């Protein structure tokens, strides 16, 4: 495995997945989305998000007027499909952990979609890292520190790039400012898919 670069405490493997691996992953994700369709989430404040979302795994991350949380089922009531084996292999290979992730959040960015600066903090144990895999169009990723006011820096995430947010960087603020729509030909209609693998380490919401 190639040595990762270090960016703000994140480990970064640019172009880790080659074109064949990216295409194979997209095929596996088509099956995920067929079982658990992408939906348009809203924030707890009622604002529609520009990304569309679904999940694979034991738990899926959801947001609606009731808040940010993990749920055992898709908003339609169907169970989340399993996390693709190739994604699990990447997780175990890069993190060195025996523990499997509970959730593979699938974010789809169409033209104009972005994601505001945030921390990933709905999980029960921040000693586990979050692994991020980018597919399709290039996206401008912004990363800061663990304080909202810390200075940020930006990098373009490209198809096949993998990022591990762990250690002190686990609670770093991060977001996606914009996309270079149709900069990649991986997805025929354009757009970007980002997968984030998370150990949730809490029981699903009982509500
Ligand atoms: C996220 O923070 O959930 C997504 C980050 C990304 O799209 O690269
Ligand atoms: Fe995030």
Q: Give the span between the Cα atoms of 185 and 180, in whole angstroms.
A: 12
For residue 198, is it left (φ>0), alpha (ψ between -120 and 50) or beta?
A: beta
The answer to whether the CB of 196 is under 6 A from ligand 1 is: yes
User: Which domain, by its residues, includes 190?
Assistant: 5-202
Residue 196 clears pLDDT 90, i.e. is over it = yes
Residue 17 clears pLDDT 50, i.e. is over it = yes
The model scores a pTM over 0.85: yes
Going by C-alpha positions, the residue among 84, 101, 91 that lies closest to residue 33 is 84
- Phi, psi (deg, nearest 5) at residue 32: -60, -45
The answer to whether the CB of 131 is under 6 A from ligand 1 is: no
Question: What is the number of domains present in the chain?
Answer: 1
**What CATH number does the domain containing 178 carry?**
2.60.120.590
pLDDT band at 3 (very low <50, low <70, confident <90, very high): confident
Between the CA of 77 and the centroid of ligand 1 the distance, in Å, is: 25
Asked if the structure places residue 207 within a domain, the reply is no
Ligand 1 atom at shortest distance from the alpha carbon of 132: 8
Between the CA of 120 and the centroid of ligand 2 the distance, in Å, is: 5
């Amino acid at each position: 495995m190639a040595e990762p670069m270090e960016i703000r405490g994140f480990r970064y493997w640019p172009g880790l997945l080659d074109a064949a691996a990216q295409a194979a992953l997209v095929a596996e994700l088509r099956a995920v989305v067929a079982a658990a369709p992408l939906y348009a989430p809203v924030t707890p404040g009622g604002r529609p998000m520009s990304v569309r979302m679904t999940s694979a795994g034991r738990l899926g991350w959801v947001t609606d007027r009731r808040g940010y949380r993990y749920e055992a089922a898709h908003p339609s009531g169907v169970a989340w499909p399993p996390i693709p084996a190739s994604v699990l292999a990447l997780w175990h290979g890069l993190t060195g952990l025996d523990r499997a992730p509970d959730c593979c959040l699938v974010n789809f960015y169409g033209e104009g979609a972005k994601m505001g600066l945030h921390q990933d903090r709905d999980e029960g144990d921040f000693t586990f890292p979050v692994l991020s895999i980018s597919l399709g169009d290039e996206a401008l990723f912004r990363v800061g520190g663990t304080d909202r006011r810390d200075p940020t820096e930006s990098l373009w995430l490209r198809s096949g790039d993998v990022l591990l947010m762990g250690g002190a960087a686990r609670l770093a603020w991060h977001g996606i400012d914009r996309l270079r729509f149709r900069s990649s030909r991986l997805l025929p209609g354009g757009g970007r898919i980002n997968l984030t693998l998370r150990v949730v380490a809490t029981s699903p919401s009982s509500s």
